Structure 1
Amino acid sequence: MIEILLVIFVISLSVALIGALLVSWVLSISFGKVLLAFAPGGMEAILLISVLLDIDPAL
């Protein structure tokens, strides 16, 4: 069971990384901002991370 969850996590993280890389390259936006916006998770988690890292997410 844990193997399936790990595979799902790796796939979702890979999709977020590739998508963020493409969008940041095309739109010339900081990779950190775009990655934070593309990261899987809840809105409250994204906002908390953005406050802690002092990043304005590109939502």
Structure 2
Amino acid sequence: MKLDLSSRRATPTKLTSTPGIYRTPAFSPNGQQLVYWKEGGNGAQGYTHSEEPGIYLMSV
């Protein structure tokens, strides 16, 4: 979810509708892109939403 903290009436914006285990999100220096890692699942969290693991970059 994305949340504009500069507004007192901020509401979250969902960035992806694909279920999964997402890790280590980080913004680009200019704040216009987000990079994150989608995990392939594991024994503790399961493999149900482990399709297409990898590193992703998206504009925000």
**Which structure is higher in RCO with an 8 Å CA cutoff and minimum separation 6?**
1
Q: Structure 1 length normalisation: TM-score? A: 0.22
Q: Structure 2 length normalisation: TM-score? A: 0.22
More helix by share: 1
Structure exhibiting the larger radius of gyration computed from Cα positions = 2
